[in-house]
Structure 1
Amino acid sequence: MKSAVLVGSLVAVVTAAVVGVSAVTTVVSQDAEHDAARRANTSCNAMLGPVTSGPAGSGAGDAAQLTTEQRGTVAQIIAIGKKRKMPPRAWQVAIQAGMTESGLRSLDYGDRDSLGIFQMRPSMGWGTPEQVTDPQYAINKFYDVLQKVPNWAEQRPGESAQDVERSAFPDRYHKWEPMAAHLIGHVGLVDDPTGCGEGTGRLLPAPTEAAGNAIKFALHQQGKPYQWGALTNQQNSYDCSSLMLQSYREAGVTLPRVSRQQFQAGALLPVKDAKPGDLLFWAYDTSNPDTIHHVAMYLGDGKIVEAQQTGVPVHIRPVSFTENELVPQAVRPGV
């Protein structure tokens, strides 16, 4: 019986090694194959991933619900942005910030002394109450501060919105990314908001060599125990998100600690198009990222590596893109 177990273990190790080599080879090969394309587009924002985090057309429904006042605010944000020669990404940042803070309305009330479209506080030096409730002043002031944010155009719009607003809830600006992208295309009449040119505006960079290194690290953790809330400064045990964090940290890519945050930490793509190194997520409500409860790393060939639950060590298992609770978008970290 012991010899049978030993043979089974050896087969599992060999299988894992084959899967690992295949996945890493695929990643490195694709990285080389697309390197020239990425270099040719070094100045385009598609290098950071898609402008919108939702499926194609997902922002249209929210945009259709906007009132006349809200659409008027959007038009002002875009008009002032154009006049100031700000790129479409700046308009998107302002739209997402305005929608989050006030519903794109110039409010005469708010938390403490917060007022206007962006809930600017006169007590914090944003201007007088009369100024911050004047849409033209507020929009120009927002752009003034945005332009002072280092590398604001090289990160997701929601992150730049947070850099301006300094909210206690930094992730909430991402919610309106699909709608804002839709609006800059349809209200702003921008055919190619990423600036990458026809045919490449929706280019998603291939997995990088970092993904291959992350896979190698994750595969070497097989057999280690699951521990909820595992420390990220040791490799004795893992929960699902700490395995992803440490695997990509070893590869030079920083991920947030928990799975819901990791969903916001890269370019999104249809889960059926996932490549080795991409992250897959499971949620109680697959349309609501706030309900994400599990993350794993895709290895290719219909397999994942994961730290699943108490009593189950880190392992490789088959995955189906139609299985229960699997979120329809995957995340490609580091691009």
Structure 2
Amino acid sequence: MRGTVITGVAVAGVLAVVVGTGVATVVGQSEQPANQVRLASCNASLGPITTGPAGSGAEAAANLTGEQRGTVAAIIQIGQQRELPPLAWQVAIQAGMTESGLRSLSYGDRDSLGIFQMRPSMGWGTPQQVTDPTYAINKFYDVLLDIDGWEGQRPGDSAQDVERSAFPDRYHRWESMAAHLIGDVGQVANFTGCGQGVGNLLPAPTAAAGSAIQWALGQQGKPYQWGALVNQQNSYDCSSLMLQSYRSAGIQLPRTSREQYRAGALLPLEQAQPGDMLFWARDTSDPSTIHHVAMYLGDNKIVEAQQTGVPVHIRPLKFTEGGLMAQAVRPGV
């Protein structure tokens, strides 16, 4: 843990999103809208489902030692006693796993100690306090609760806001494991409220888009793997998720995101409908620099295979995001 600031930390990035239960009005093509379905009310950006197929975190959780599971149980118990939501427990589990492997260490970088590698020299407490699990967990929660908007962002981002690490992305690695432990140890089923597998689906303008959306949402919780094979469904990168989703709907796409940008009708970004593909580039004036693709779900949300350590997930979209191309692509048109 870096000890520069432990209170009043600015929150970056993702805004709070609650997915409504109403079915969005969609302007379809000539056929009647098919597969008119909806997503149950939930905060879908806050993590993967708690149980599910490969990548759901069960395997990583099964490898924890008794000491590590004891730390998880303490994090959950103290969170329950303080009447904190399960998301707070997840943030603490991900931070503790990243910083110490969920162990109360008597050593660390410089004077960092304990489960969360708190530094006495930076005001976290005495060495005796920060190596006491009960104190450390409560202190972590105290700082987390002082972060404005922590409940509206991914748990790994909130862990970083507490820890202030020089490696902010590393907390995402344990997202699916932490979510699984909340269901397993904390006995809280489906705490994101987003269902399992395909669950409750989103509105689709056409039969093909509806099938592609259903298929993509059914992969939530599965791990990211760069260059993932397109003849298996154990892991995905961004373009393989799009390829297989639309292949399930009878539409063939090329393999890479740059090629997929040319594989349908281009339309202005603001006219995107559920099922359309959105693209990110290093230079938005040059399609040859495209490096990421995701599926638009309507209501300013996308489903994507984002990066190593982050399972397939739904997240909120800002149309002002850096690198977002000004055109969407409608496959099969």
Q: What interval of TM-score do these two structures reach, taking the shorter chain for normalisation?
A: 0.5 to 0.7
State the AA in 2 paired with 1:116. Answer: G
For 2:28, what is the secondary structure of its paired residue? helix
User: Once the two structures are aligned, what percentage of the paired residues are identical?
Assistant: 54
Whole-angstrom CA distance in 1 between matches of 2:196 and 2:105: 36
Residue in 2 that maps onto 1:273? 215
> Does the Cα contact within 8 Å between 1:281 and 1:296 map onto a contact in 2?
no
State the AA in 2 paired with 1:167. Answer: S
State the AA in 1 paired with 2:182. Answer: I
1:224-303 correspondence runs (5 A):
273-274=215-216, 283-284=226-227, 301-303=250-252
Change (3 A) 1:29 1:160: farther
Change (3 A) 1:283 1:76: same
1:18-167 correspondence runs (5 A):
25=28, 33-34=37-38, 38=40, 41=41, 44-46=42-44, 48=46, 50-51=48-49, 55=53, 58-167=56-165
Higher relative contact order (CA 8 A, sep 6+): 2
Whole-angstrom CA distance in 2 between matches of 1:184 and 1:313: 38
Post-superposition shift, 1:144?
Answer: 0.5
Whole-angstrom CA distance in 2 between matches of 1:288 and 1:57: 8
Superposition TM-score, scaled by structure 1 size: 0.55
State the AA in 1 paired with 2:215. Answer: D
What value does the CA root-mean-square deviation take over the aligned residues? 4.3
Change (3 A) 1:30 1:139: farther
Post-superposition shift, 1:288?
Answer: 7.9
Whole-angstrom CA distance in 1 between matches of 2:161 and 2:167: 12
Q: Deviations over 1:238-264 (max 9, x none)?
A: xxxxxxxxxxxxxxxxxxxxxxxxxxx
| Structure 2 alignment gaps of length 5 or more | 1-25, 265-304, 318-333
Whole-angstrom CA distance in 2 between matches of 1:175 and 1:281: 10
Change (3 A) 1:80 1:332: closer
Superposition TM-score, scaled by structure 2 size: 0.55
Change (3 A) 1:30 1:87: farther
Whole-angstrom CA distance in 2 between matches of 1:63 and 1:313: 36
**Larger of the two Rg values belongs to structure:** 1
Change (3 A) 1:293 1:168: farther
Change (3 A) 1:130 1:29: farther
Whole-angstrom CA distance in 2 between matches of 1:285 and 1:297: 12
Residue in 2 that maps onto 1:173? 171
Change (3 A) 1:30 1:204: farther
> Does the Cα contact within 8 Å between 2:86 and 2:191 map onto a contact in 1?
yes
> Does the Cα contact within 8 Å between 1:296 and 1:305 map onto a contact in 2?
no
